Structure 1
Amino acid sequence: MKNFKLLGFIFRSVMMGMIAALFLFTFFPHLMSPIKEVETTTAPLTTFSFADAISKVSPSIVNIKTYIPNPKKVNARATAQLGMGSGIIISQQGYIVTNYHVISKAEQIAVELVDGRLTIAKVIGYDAESDLAVLKISMDNLPALKLDSDVSVEVGDVTFVIGHPFGVGQSVTMGIVSATGRTALGISEYEDYIQTDAAVNLGNSGGALINSRGELLGISSVYFTYGTKTGISFAIPISLAMDVIEQIIFNGRVIRGWLGFSGGPINKAGTDKFGDGDYLVEGITKDGPADLIGLKVNDVILTVNDLKLETVGDLHKMIAESRIGSSLSIKVNRNNETLTFDVIVKERPRPE
C-alpha cells in the first residue's frame, strides 16, 4: 500500500513538472531560449603623452650658434670659440627672444631652425639687467609662437623645457613648477624667476619653458647644481619678458624708473620676503634721486605711495615701471621717527 502511495506521489510530481514546462514554453518562450555567450572585447591601451603640446611649440624653438673671438690670440678667427644656446621665434617678422648671456660676447650669431634652414641674425637690442635679448632674422614662413602674459603658472604644474642642449639637436626635459617669484638669487638685477626641476642643460638657455597645454610660461635661463646632486632650474616668466621684449623692439632699449638706492629685506633668513613688510636701505648713489631728497643708509622703507610692499621684487618692479619724471611718496622709519619723502623718478642708467 505504501508503495502505491509513493508511486502516486512521484507520478503527480512528474505530471506537475510537465504541465509547468508546457505552460512556460507556451506563454514565455523567450525564457526557454538557450543562453548565448557574450563576446567581450578589450579596449585598446592608449599612450599617455604630451606630444601635442610639444609639437605645438617645438618648430618655434631655434638653435643659436655664436662665434666668439679669442682676443688673446693674434689669429682670433682661427682660435675662435663656438657658443651654443636656444631662442624662441616670437613673430613672423623674424623677431627671436633669447638670453642676453647667450649672445653677449658674440661677434656673429647664426640661427638654425628645426627644418634645417640656417641664417645669420642681427641683435635688435638687449637688457643685461633681466638677461634678455632680441634678435631678428630675414626668412619666410616662420613658425612664430604666440605669447600671453596672462598665462597661469601654479606650483605643481607639469613643465617642459625645449631647447638645443650640448649641440646634439632639439630635445625636451620634463618636470614641474617647483616655485614662483624667486628673487635675490644673484642671477640678474631684475628677478622674478619660475623654479622647475626640468633640466636646463648647456645650450638650453634662451629656450622655452611650457606647460602641458603648450603655453609658454617663460624663457629657460639657468641651472643650479651642487656636486652630484640633482639641480634646479630657473626661467624668466613671460609676463616679465614681454615688457622687456616690447621695449627693445619699439625703443631699442629698456627704459626703467630709478631712485638710486639699494638694500634688502630686514629678514634675510633665506627669503626675499620682508619680515614686517620693511626694506632696509643699504646703499645710496651719490647725486641720485634718493640722495638729493635726503634718504640715508639704514633708513627703513615702510611704504611707497602708501602701499606696503611684500617683496624686494615688488619694490623694484614698482620703481622700474614708474614714469620718468613722476613723483613717488616714500615713508621711512629713521631712528624710530617716521619721515615722508617725495622723490622724482629718473631713468635708470644703463650698466656699463
Structure 2
Amino acid sequence: MILVTGGAGFIGANFILDWLRASDEPVLNLDKLTYAGNLENLASLQGDARHLFVQGDIGDRELVGKLLAEHRPRAIVNFAAESHVDRSIHGPEDFIQTNVVGTFHLLEETRGHWMGLPEADKAVFRFLHVSTDEVYGSLGPDDVPFTETTPFAPNSPYSASKASSDHLVRAYHHTYGLPVLTTNCSNNYGPYQFPEKLIPLMILNATRGKPLPIYGDGMNVRDWLYVTDHCSAIRTVLEKGKIGETYNVGGWNEMPNIEIVRTVCALLDEMRPDPAGPHERLVTYVKDRPGHDRRYAIDAGKIHRELGWKPDETFESGIRKTVRWYLDNMAWVEHVASGEYRKWVDVQYGERGAVSGER
C-alpha cells in the first residue's frame, strides 16, 4: 500500500486514478477536503477496495501516526498543500499552516514510523514530496530555465511556504537519513482542475459568455505540463529516483498566458461555437497582481537523462483533451463553481475587478 496525501485535489486525484489504472496496489488517501478537495474527482472508485479514503489533516499527528501504524505503507506521496498564489496573497496564514507546519508534522510522524520498521522495510520505504517550480522565483526573458541547482528565490507567500517545505524535506534526509525524493513541477493542466486556475476558469467563463480576465499585458510566461504526464513522472521518480535527489518535471511547453487563452478560445470556437461571435472577443485585461512573476521555465533534462522520463503529450494534444473534457463534464464544473469558488470570485472581483487563475 502507498499513502497519498491531498488525494482528492486536482493532481492528487489524477495520480490515484492513474495509479489504480496501472496497478492493483492499494492507495490510502488522506485529504482534509478543503475548498479544492473534491471526492467527486474519485467517483469512479466508489466501491473499489483498492482505494481507502480518510478525511483528515497532515498536521494531525495523532491521526497520521495511527494510519502509519495500522496500514504500514511502503511509500508516502505528499500532494497536500494550499497551492493558489492569489489566495496566498489574500490570506497567507493557511499556507504557512498547511505547507510548512503540516509538512513538518507529517515528516515527524513519518520519521518515527520509518525508524521503527524492520531493516528490510526501512530500505525500500520512500517519502516523495511534490513541489513547484515557483520556489525558484522569476526568470528574465533570456535567462536559462530552472535546474535542480537553481537557488530558491520565492516571491509570493505560496511559493515561500513551498520552499520552506522543500527545505524541511531535504533537512530530514540529511539529518535523520529519511529516504526522501522531491519533485518540482511546472504549471499543470487537465481534468478535474479547480476552476480558479487559468485554463478551467477561461473555459468556464467563455461558455457563460463572461469576460476572460488576463493579468497585466498577458505576456507572463509559464511552462505547461499535462497532469497525466506529471503523474507518470511521479511514478517514475518513486520507482527509480535516487534517495535525497530533486527532479524538475516540465512539459517543454513555454508559452505566454495570452497565447494559452487564445488557444482555448480557438478550440471552443471549433467545439462549441458561440452565436455571438469568436470567444476571443471576451478577453479583458485587468490590473496585474502584486509581485507577479514574469516567467517560469523548467529544464527537465535530469529526469530524462537519469530516469528515462519525458512527457507524452504536446501542448496541442493536451489542451485539446482538456477543453474536450471540460465541455463533456460541465455538470462537474457547474457543481464545483456553485460552492466556495463563487464566494472567492466575489472577493476577487471586489478587489481588482476580476480574477485570473494562473499560478
TM-score, length of structure 2 as denominator length:
0.25
Per residue, is there more helix in 1 or in 2? 2
Higher alpha-carbon Rg:
1
More relative contact order, 1 or 2 (CA 8 Å, 6+ apart): 2
TM-score of the pair, normalised by structure 1: 0.25
